[in-house]
Amino acid sequence: MKQEFEKITQGIVSLIRIWEDKLKDLPVEVITHRRNKQNRTIKQILGHLIDSASNNTHRYIHLQYQESPLSFPNYATNGNNDRWIAIQNYQDENWLNMIQLWKYINLHLVHVIQNINDNKIDQVWIASDDVKISLEDQVIYYLEHFELHLAEIDELINNR
């Protein structure tokens, strides 16, 4: 595995360790009422992170056995990620179950990243008509995306 991927996986695991208990200790009114600039609650942001891990897992796997460039749905375009959040109704999901799902789906993603075939990291996903992203760049960006949304949650926690 590339050394850069090791930094990514260690970063994800470290953030899970830091955030798991922090999330468990949040009061209901904080996770369900405070909203970020996208009008998402903490529950909905965590739900988005679950969806992101799920979609990235599928994309990373498809990129290792299908022809490149890969045409695979981009769940985040045209507001679709908000549709995913709404359809799954994360706002009414059991909070402790969500935390565990977030934790374990990301730990599984770490496992998937650790097992990426080095010969496939240049495989390309067609994110949109004018954007193509290599598997390597997707893995590198994942930690940044993870941190971005945890920072949003942190802002909502501290916005008393």
Looking at residue 41, which CATH number applies to its domain? 1.20.120.450
pLDDT score of 160: 59
Point out which residues pair with 128 in neighbouring strands: 131
**Strand intervals (E) in 10-159:** 70-71, 124-128, 131-134
Computed over every residue of the chain, the mean pLDDT equals: 94
Burial of 160: CB neighbours in 10 Å, binned 0-12, 13-18, 19+: exposed
Count of residues in the chain: 160
Q: Yes or no: say if 8 and 142 are a contact pair by the CB < 8 Å rule.
A: yes
pLDDT score of 132: 95
pLDDT score of 16: 98
* pTM exceeds 0.85, yes or no: yes
pLDDT score of 116: 96
Section 13-27 average pLDDT: 97
Residue 14, pLDDT above cutoff 90: yes
pLDDT tens for 58-71 read 999 999 999 999 99
pLDDT category of residue 50 using cuts at 50, 70 and 90: very high
Choice between 2 and 135, residue whose per-residue pLDDT is larger = 135
How far is it, in rounded angstroms, from Cα 104 to Cα 100? 6
pLDDT score of 35: 85
pLDDT score of 128: 87
Residue 1, pLDDT above cutoff 70: no
Residue 2, pLDDT above cutoff 80: no
How far is it, in rounded angstroms, from Cα 57 to Cα 33? 30
**Rounded CA Rg of the chain:** 16
The residue written with tokens 């549709």 in the block is 83
Residue 78, pLDDT above cutoff 80: no
List Cβ neighbours of 48 (8 Å cut-off, separation of 6 or more): 40, 81, 84, 85, 149
How far is it, in rounded angstroms, from Cα 160 to Cα 28? 14
Domain count, the chain: 1
pLDDT category of residue 46 using cuts at 50, 70 and 90: very high
DSSP one-letter string for 79-106? GHHHHHHHHHTGGGS-HHHHHHHHHHHH
Point out which residues pair with 124 in neighbouring strands: 134
Q: Yes or no: say if 46 and 153 are a contact pair by the CB < 8 Å rule.
A: yes
Point out which residues pair with 134 in neighbouring strands: 124
Section 39-56 average pLDDT: 96
Domain housing 24: 3-158
